[in-house]
């Protein structure tokens, strides 16, 4: 896939390898080719697929402006996402040392919403983020959450929060403020930003400052050696205190 990426980029295509969950299961990364804010993802491809991929991309229905506008108008496709800060035309809002943005998941790919897309949607920026947040909240999956709220097995029992994979997982960290706003904890909760796929909560009440620093170093090493750059959020833990996520 990396060789195919090089071939596409050398011929002027805006392409990148991204972490994804293939709809039919199995794939952990895909090759995304973009035209403006619109992208199409290809799975399990290599340099031998160059001509097929290029022909498919250039002739895809989603490149048709009318089709794209109709897909964009379906507000159920909007999802809240989080990433490291970038300089591009995508509408984004700061969140701690990260930033929030919105994607539209359409049948043939994804669209990171920019100002032109916002006009097509007929929404204000506030409405865009409100709708995307509500859509993402419905997708949120929480494992062991009942036990944690009830205080059962709280010590040493991490809680993993995800949505449905892909770009959505890390947005769970933002939604924590809604999930836990009326549920004060009697212990120190820390959040591991393990990747864009998920975040992990754990009880850090008995950890020393040195152990917290060791965990930060561990996260940094995992990010460096185990994850693609596009999957990385940050190299440190976050806190969850009084219903608020912090650093």
Model pTM score:
0.67
Q: Are 79 and 132 in contact (CB under 8 A)?
A: yes
- Statement: residue 24 has pLDDT above 70: no
What pLDDT is attached to residue 149? 47
- Coil, strand or helix at 30: strand
Cα–Cα distances (Å) from 69 to 40, 87, 204, 235, in that order, read 16, 25, 47, 38
- List, for residues 169-187, the tens digit of each pLDDT value: 556 566 666 666 655 556 6
pLDDT digits (tens, 9 = 90+) for 99-142: 889 888 766 566 788 888 888 888 999 999 999 888 887 776 55
First to last CA, the chain: 36
């Amino acid at each position: 896939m990396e060789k195919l990426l090089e071939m596409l980029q050398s011929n002027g295509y805006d392409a990148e390898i991204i972490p994804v969950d293939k709809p039919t299961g199995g794939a952990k990364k895909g090759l995304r080719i973009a035209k403006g804010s619109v992208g199409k993802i290809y799975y399990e491809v290599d340099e031998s697929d160059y001509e097929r991929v290029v022909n498919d991309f250039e002739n895809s229905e989603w490149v048709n402006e009318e089709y794209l506008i109709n897909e964009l108008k379906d507000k159920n496709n909007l999802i809240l996402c989080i990433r490291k800060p970038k300089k591009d035309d995508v509408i984004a809002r700061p969140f701690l040392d990260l930033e929030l943005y919105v994607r539209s998941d359409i049948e043939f790919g994804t669209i990171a919403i920019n100002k032109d897309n916002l006009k097509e949607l007929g929404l204000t920026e506030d409405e865009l983020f409100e709708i995307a947040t509500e859509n993402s909240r419905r997708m949120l999956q929480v494992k062991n959450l009942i036990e944690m709220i009830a205080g059962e097995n709280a010590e040493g029992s991490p809680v993993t929060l995800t949505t449905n994979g892909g770009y959505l997982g890390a947005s769970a960290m933002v939604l924590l403020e809604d999930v836990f706003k009326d549920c004060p904890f009697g212990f120190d909760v820390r959040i591991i930003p393990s990747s864009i796929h998920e975040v992990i909560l754990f009880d850090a009440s008995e950890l020393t400052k040195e152990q917290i620093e060791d965990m930060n170093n561990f996260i940094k090493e995992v990010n460096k050696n185990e994850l693609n750059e596009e999957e990385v959020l940050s190299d440190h833990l976050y806190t969850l205190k009084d219903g608020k996520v912090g650093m």
